[in-house]
A and B are shown apart, each in its own frame.
Chain A
Amino acid sequence: MTDSFRFDGTPVAFGPGASIAAALTAAGHRHLRDTAKGAARGMFCGMGVCQDCLVTVDGVPNQRACMTAAVAGQKVERQAVLVPLETAQAKPATAPARVIAPDVLILGGGAGGLSAAIAARKAGASVVVLDERKVPGGQYFKQAATGAPLDAQQAEGAALLHAARASGAEIVGGVEVWGAFDGLLFLAEWQGTALVARPKTVIVATGAYERPVMVPGWTLPGVMTTGAAQTLWRSYRVLPGQRVAVCGSGPLNLQVALELARGGAEVALVAEAAGSPFGQIGAALRLALAGPSLAAKGLAMRAGLWRRGVAVRHRTRLIRIEPDGDALCATFRGAAGEQSLTVDALCMNAGFEPQNEALRLLGAAMEYDAEVGHLRCRRDAGMRTTVPGLYAVGDCAGLGGAPAAMAEGRIAGCAAAAEAGQGDGYDTFADQRVLARHRRFQHALWKLHDIRPAALEEIPGDTLLCRCEEVPLSEARAALTPEIGHAGSLKRATRIGMGRCQGRYCGAASARLVAEARGTAIDAFSLFAPRVPMKPVSIAVILAAQEALDAGA
């Protein structure tokens, strides 16, 4: 702890590489913003998606604390609900736009994207990888901001990142891709200016974000996704709170609970929606057969939690969260009835939503997978989508896990390079076999958890469906007149999905709400229509991109 910035005048110390959100969390500041309706908000997704941790940094409003690096002497402020326009003056772009035209452009520097980069470079293609984070690696390999790897998983990620850099691929961090247009034109924000890409081929490897457990109180400061808590710990060595609980379903919850416990947090409870794997011997056995080493890892995780006395309660769900002074009172319901716990932080993950915005914008065909409650991108064995030159790998194409994403990346990298005229798309037989095995494992794995979308009738009416516009489920239900035949009409009637997160949390729930009311099935067109920008983009960056395109980029 050497440096410090000021948060509303109070000094906040931070370690090297920390994000503003990590530094504020470490200092106990969880309440970062107030909404139009006067509700307190803090960091939720920890990965730049939810837009709830917006603060004013050195006079520039609407900066995501989770994605902005802490800098010594910085002035960080809670901002007015409506920022006065004169304080929001355009900061001119810091430099002219950068224009690139690689053989293979890769969106996302995680497990899939980095593997694709190495394969495409090996075939001789020029490769640029764009990643949102300053330090690429993705959500699975989650790299430390500074210092040595924490464990084998981070070390494996560091090695992959090193191999990708050594392959000659250019890996650009801190890039927010906000525009995808027909003819493969991509517009991005990079270091305060624009980046324009006109690649020959593109591999979308944008991963997924986390599905929340929507209950009353899920927007309170201190409530965050499990991945957000993991980023705090793995990337910045900050605990989300001293006493925490974890809820939802899936192996990430178990892993993060163990990591936080090892890091010194008191993990009061892990609430898992599914039954115990020891009560589902058949499914557990299939998992062990499909991936003995990964299954053993899972078992070791449970043993680790047990040794630390962390209670993992199955068939247990979060039902509400209330503020309790500076802490949270979380109430769970399980076989033994209801139980309330007071915690500093509550972590939630009830599955994943693919970050498929670029794929949908470009018109790639999708199918709805009701089992996991999200879209899967239609692809051939070479990871080609239905759009020429467009490939998709990893969780952005539908939940599949990091090991599968890596195999898909190697296959797509090779195929995209060949399409761009580099290499011959060599035999990917071995990778296809690896991929088939990982897919079998994933299939068995999710049988042991419960990530089906929550039944809407079980959600209390006062639960906020739309975080940004603060629309409760009851209001959405009341708006469901017979004329509302699509989530888009519900959006126009209620403002659900019109806020800064662009419908990322309420979109799937809205589509299900309309489908249930109309008695129709959800398909690839039931969700909100995809829109540019994929992430809010500053007008200064638009100006820089316009100048570049005017100049013939």
Chain B
Amino acid sequence: MPAPDVLVIGGGITGTMAALHLAEAGARVGLVDAGLNAGSSANAGSLHVQMQSRFMRLYPDQVPNVEAALPFYRAAAEEWGRLDALYGPFELSRHGGLMLAEDARQLDFLASKAKREERMGLSVEILDRTALDRIAPWLGPQIVGAELCRDEGKLNPLVANLRLAARLAALGVVQIRDRIETLEPDASGVTAIGRAARHRADRVVVAAAWAAGDLVRALGLALPTRAEPLHMNITEPGAAQIRHLIQHAERSITLKQFGSGQIVIGGGWPAEDRGPDRMPGVLAESLLGNVALAARLVPQIGGLRVIRTWAGMNTTMDGASAIGALPDTSRVILAVPGDAGYTLGPLVGRIAAALVSGAVPVEDAARFSPARFAA
């Protein structure tokens, strides 16, 4: 087989979509993945748009970047809508997200957050309890109000991943199982050295999420990617009644109901990082704390049983995405979402693909330039 024009490193949603767009544009594309299944394949399917209180609390220094990127989050949710129409259905719905407040102080915080988000073009509204009861009549009695962000939604990542992978196969994208550890660009191309083999390509797209930092360090970029192992739970099915993506003004949680009727509970409780070669492990405190919080916010799920928990990886950097060629090496193109990688992935992948093929990107790509991390 001749060397592909482009080798995409990372088979998660970002790499998948970069590869898909490149192949559709006529490039010969290889997609290499380590196969550990902890990122996109462990995702729980929230489409995040509004600023997550969890993120604001944990990474206050990154909030300005996230806030500036709010239109990008909205555009990313819309990109998912387009993909759903093209390659779906992915059980995608965009009934909006509710961020709940349990007291007046939390509701005040949401009100000021909503004002900032509205300025950035998001469709948000503060709802009191009466208004909430009309659209979500299953909340705990202590909930005083919520911020509704109409841009938010949910989808079934298992279905989306499967259908997009089938599209890749139909496009002739060659899928390779290997863990790439070193990139060696030269005048005529790039050699990606993996544990199993050496792979040669004209250009390389690095869509390796938390592993991207290690890959590009030797190429003069101090990309501060950080693996964030997170915990998730799923219940047995119940009748489909919860349409919104549920979050909390102060505490870490996402809660939503899949098309199967199962409730998925996650939202950023920690899991145990067991290194790059093992899946992250489940912690008892996270399981108990996360599910207990969910049951307090939505008591009606309390009669269902939890049937499975798992851990996946989120990736954080500086709050903004990194998309574009490395300052010193135009043959290596980064495609790393700033946070909420599954939401942003398709749009990030699409922009990276456009940059590789020399097309006009859908977004002004300059503000995502990796140059900000030049060592």
Q: Using CB atoms and an 8 Å cutoff, list the residues of chain A in contact with chain B.
A: 36, 60-62, 80, 82-91, 179, 181-182, 185, 187, 481-483, 485-486, 488-489, 492-493, 495, 498-500, 502, 529, 531-533, 536-540, 542-543, 545-547, 549
Contacts and interface: CB of A to CB of B under 8 A. Distances in A.
A546 B239 contact: no
B361 to A, nearest CB: 29
16 contacts: A61-B303, A83-B304, A89-B302, A89-B303, A179-B284, A485-B35, A533-B308, A533-B309, A536-B306, A537-B306, A539-B305, A542-B291, A542-B306, A543-B295, A543-B302, A547-B292
Contact of A489 (B37, B300, B304, B308): B37
Contact of A62 (B165, B166, B294, B305): B305
B235 interface: yes
Interface of B: 35, 37, 41, 138, 158, 161-162, 165-166, 169, 175, 177, 235-242, 261, 279, 281-285, 287-289, 291-292, 294-295, 299-310
Given A542-B287, A542-B295, 5 more contacts: A83-B238, A481-B166, A485-B35, A499-B307, A500-B307
Given A86-B300, A90-B303, A537-B306, A546 B288 contact: yes
A538 B303 contact: yes
Contacts, number: 140
A485 B165 CA distance: 14
A250 B289 CA distance: 46
B288 A549 contact: yes
A549 B284 CA distance: 10
A531 B308 contact: yes
Contacts of A60: 303
A185 B284 contact: yes
B279 A88 contact: no
A82 B305 contact: no
A164 B310 CA distance: 38
B288 A500 contact: no
A500 B284 contact: no
B158 A495 contact: yes
A345 B319 CA distance: 62
Contacts of B284: 179, 181, 185, 187, 532, 549
Contacts of B138: 85-86
B175 A483 contact: yes
Contacts of B299: 89-90
A227 B299 CA distance: 38
B239 A536 contact: no
A495 B308 CA distance: 13
Nearest to B157: A492
B161 to A, nearest CB: 7
B282 A532 contact: yes
Contacts of A531: 282, 308-310
A492 B41 contact: yes
B162 A492 contact: yes
A485 B301 CA distance: 35
Contact of B303 (A91, A495, A502): A91
Contacts of B310: 531
A539 B238 contact: no
Contact of A89 (B162, B165, B300, B309): B300
A214 to B, nearest CB: 22
Contacts of A488: 37
Nearest to A499: B307
Nearest to B166: A481
A502 B308 CA distance: 8
Nearest to B234: A498
Closest 3 CB pairs of A and B: A90-B302, A88-B303, A546-B288
A476 B282 CA distance: 28
A182 B242 CA distance: 35
Contacts of B282: 181, 531-532
Contacts of B169: 481, 483
B175 A482 contact: yes
Contact of B235 (A87, A486, A532, A539): A539
A545 B283 CA distance: 14
Contacts of A542: 287-288, 291-292, 295, 306
A549 B239 contact: no
A538 B288 contact: no
A85 B241 contact: yes
Q: Tell me which of A80, A88, A89, A181 has the highest count of chain B C-beta atoms within 10 A of its own C-beta.
A: A88
Contacts of B303: 60-62, 83, 85, 87-91, 538-540
Contact of A88 (B177, B240, B300): B300
B305 A537 contact: yes
A61 to B, nearest CB: 6
Contacts of A85: 138, 238-239, 241-242, 300-301, 303-304
Nearest to B175: A483
A84 B303 CA distance: 10
Nearest to B307: A536
